[in-house]
Amino acid sequence: MSRKIAVKLIMELRANGLSQSSIARSRHMSKTSVNEVFRIAEEQHLSYDEIKDRSSDEVYHLFFPHKHAEETVYALPDYDYVHNELTKVGVTLKILWQEYRDQCTATSHLNVGYTKFCNGYRDEVARKKLTNHLTHKPGVIAEVDWSGKTQKLIDQVTGDEIKVYLFVGTLPYSQYTYVEPCLDMKQNTWLNCHVHMYEYFGGSTVRTVCDNLKTGVVTHPREGDIILTEAYEALGDHYCTAIMPAPVRKPKAKASVEGSVGKLATAVIAKLRNNVYYTLADLRVDVLAALKVFNDRPFQKRQGSRTEIHDTIERTCLRPLPVHPYEPVTWFYNNKIYSDCHIVFEKNHYSCPYQFAGKKADLRVGDSFIEIYCHNERIASHHRFPYYTIDGWSTHDEDLPESFKQAEWNQERFMKEAQSIGASTLAVIQLIFENTRLPERAFNPSKSVLKLAKKYSAVRLENACEMALKTLRSPRYKHLEPILAAGEDILYAKDRDAAHQAETASTTGFIRGASYYGGYDND
């Protein structure tokens, strides 16, 4: 509602001879409002003596009857009551507005809308500076941020310093705090820190208030919807918490974590400043130990400690954690499903239902799993191979057609053809089949090897296979073809034959006559 014009005061000052400009300037009033009161007084021939015995509201209603009629239709909210009720557990502005609306209906008054109700309360809080007196409720908010202060590791090889960043999360009600040192501030690190924080707290909160960092917030306009990154929004859904970025350049919106950052600079960083760390694991152990001391320390202006209030009150108000923790994921789009019913990711193979062979699929990749999607439908899920694995095969039997599961005579034919070339070639083909889960997957590698006999001759292929088997566990085309192209098999065969001849010569005896040694027969 607009502020009422002080009509009675203006009339009193007018009777004392003050001009319109003087009244507006001395009383900090709008000159338009003062002019309007003067105009109405002249039109209705009203003087101060006629109204001096009436109340200010009566005088106002006398001068502005239409505004009086409008104001009596609406019932203004009692924002002092609203502010006190908000300190109670579970009470929200939405609930209080609904109660106010029901009261207006009962008294035949119009109610202001929800948006005006909230804006009015916001203005009242700003006018009376009530922010500092608002009590937090347990289990409602978790505030998160990166600490401006950092720690360091020492590289054991070079001796260089490695910067370590600190993730900080705080529950405003109990001031219970979580800290985790990290080597970077990338999106997956940010998300994993949230997972560890919720586990440390023993549950998630209704809201998670963060800063407007790029790894979490795409856009935060003054008007309109806030857009979070897909992964950050997925984390919020997984833990049933509303991710709510704080207003831009308004640290008061997450005052608890801002305060914790400053206190932790003393409780953690300063305490560990003289220690030298070479691994992140060692640093984390000491940080958690210092953090426990910080949380267990009694408050100076409040009964109990952070740990005590969290364990006795706030922990029971947190939402339970999901059965499986959230894993940050990365999407890889338009990957081909090959005719062998497998898709390739990081040089490893993962099976898909044979009906999707030849189509494109999207991969949802986490730290420990891979999910395969086709047309936004998940068609397969696998445990992800470790980063050091190459040419791994993860195959579900149900993904393959029956023809793939039946042994065929082709394998026997490959063996016979290899045997006709030589024992070493047969050994190479046998190893290819032994190291491949599906016989069909060995067909192409075996064909590639046997075709080398037509290109270079069967003898040279046999020599190349013999040479490769001495140094390789399972030779393939990629190993044999360079040997043959460079002629290394020819040199190997010559050296082998020469060595064989020398060995034969050293083990063979010669009988020489007496004349060789200078002997004579005596007559």
pLDDT for residue 516:
44
Determine which of 35-44, 222-231, 505-514 has the lowest per-residue pLDDT on average.
505-514
- Report the percent of the chain where pLDDT is more than 90: 26
Long-range contacts of 286-292 (CB under 8 A, 24+ apart): 287/151, 287/166, 287/179, 287/180, 287/181, 288/179, 291/177, 291/178, 291/179, 291/264, 291/267
Q: Is the pLDDT of residue 133 over 70?
A: no
Across 255-259, 384-388, 472-476, which has the greatest mean pLDDT? Answer: 472-476
pLDDT for residue 514:
52
CB atoms within 10 A of CB 479: 18
* Cα–Cα distance, 457 to 477 (Å, whole number): 15
Go through 332-341 and write b for each residue having 16 or more CB atoms within 10 A of its CB, e for each that does not: eeebebeebb
Q: How confident is the model at residue 87 (pLDDT cuts 50, 70, 90)?
A: low
What's the pLDDT tens digit per position in 328-358?
A: 888 899 999 998 889 999 889 999 999 998 9
Q: What is the SS3 assignment for 454-491?
A: HHHCHHHHHHHHHHHHCCCCCCCHHHHHHHHHHCHHHH
**Class of residue 59 by CB neighbours under 10 A (exposed 0-12, middle 13-18, buried 19+):** buried
pLDDT for residue 519:
46
Determine which of 41-55, 257-271, 442-456, 507-521 has the lowest per-residue pLDDT on average.
507-521
**Class of residue 174 by CB neighbours under 10 A (exposed 0-12, middle 13-18, buried 19+):** buried
Q: How many CA atoms lie within 13 A of 87 on its CB side?
A: 11
Measured in degrees and rounded to the nearest 5, phi and psi for residue 216 equal -125, -30
Measured in degrees and rounded to the nearest 5, phi and psi for residue 85 equal -70, -30
Q: What is the mean pLDDT of the chain?
A: 81
**Residue that is written with structure tokens 């070493």 in the block:** 424
* Cα–Cα distance, 19 to 204 (Å, whole number): 64
Q: Which two tokens stand for residue 407?
A: 């042994």
Q: How confident is the model at residue 132 (pLDDT cuts 50, 70, 90)?
A: very low
Give strand pairing partners of 178: 169
For range 162-167, the mean pLDDT:
92
Measured in degrees and rounded to the nearest 5, phi and psi for residue 365 equal -110, 125
**Class of residue 171 by CB neighbours under 10 A (exposed 0-12, middle 13-18, buried 19+):** buried
Which of the two residues, 170 and 438, has the higher pLDDT score? 170
Q: Is the pLDDT of residue 130 over 60?
A: no
Go through 220-250 and write b for each residue having 16 or more CB atoms within 10 A of its CB, e for each that does not: eeeeeeeebbebbebbbebbebebbbbeeee
* Cα–Cα distance, 327 to 235 (Å, whole number): 8
For range 162-166, the mean pLDDT:
92
Look at residues 164, 173, 408 and name the one whose alpha carbon lies nearest to residue 275: 164
**Which helix (H) or strand (E) covers residue 411, if one does?**
helix 410-421
What's the pLDDT tens digit per position in 214-237?
A: 766 755 455 545 677 888 888 888
Q: Which two tokens stand for residue 208?
A: 């998670």
pLDDT for residue 351:
93
Q: How confident is the model at residue 134 (pLDDT cuts 50, 70, 90)?
A: very low
Q: What's the pTM?
A: 0.48
* Cα–Cα distance, 484 to 461 (Å, whole number): 8
Q: How confident is the model at residue 389 (pLDDT cuts 50, 70, 90)?
A: confident
**Residue that is written with structure tokens 């609406």 in the block:** 74
* Cα–Cα distance, 15 to 371 (Å, whole number): 84
* Identity at 406, one-letter amino acid code: Q
pLDDT for residue 1:
41
pLDDT for residue 112:
75
Q: How confident is the model at residue 58 (pLDDT cuts 50, 70, 90)?
A: confident
* Cα–Cα distance, 522 to 506 (Å, whole number): 35
Determine which of 44-58, 124-138, 508-522 has the lowest per-residue pLDDT on average.
508-522
Sign, CA dihedral 170-171-174-179, equals negative
Q: Is the pLDDT of residue 139 over 90?
A: no
What's the pLDDT tens digit per position in 400-423?
A: 887 665 545 468 888 888 999 999
pLDDT for residue 248:
55
